[in-house]
Amino acid sequence: MAASVLRARNKKKKKNCVIEKELVDVLQLYPLWLCPFKLFDNPGFVHPSGPRDEMYVDIGAYGAPTVDDYNNVETTKRLEKYVTSVKG
């Protein structure tokens, strides 16, 4: 799905996905691979934030950003801060 289609779909729903906006609109990075998965409340290395199963979306970003002022360190820190703020 092209970035323009994703933007049009979001405008139509009057809703934006923050990660999509950052990766597609700001960094001009495409394609994105969205892979939903269920994190079970079982013993192991990774656990949900609470005492129940939770759904997550793993995001794969491919290609290289095409914006002139791209800064890998600043961008990574900004994305990590957002993901942490939403307990992702």
Regarding pTM above 0.75, the answer is no
Taken in order 37, 55, 29, 2, is the CA torsion positive or negative?
Answer: positive
Which residue in 31, 51, 47 sits closest to 39, CA to CA? 47
Domain boundaries, the chain: 3-85
Taking only the tens of pLDDT, the chain with its 88 residues reads 444 444 444 454 444 466 777 777 777 877 888 888 888 988 888 878 788 898 888 888 888 888 888 888 988 898 888 878 877 6
Question: What distance in Å separates the CA atoms of residue 28 and residue 69, rounded to the nearest whole number?
Answer: 11
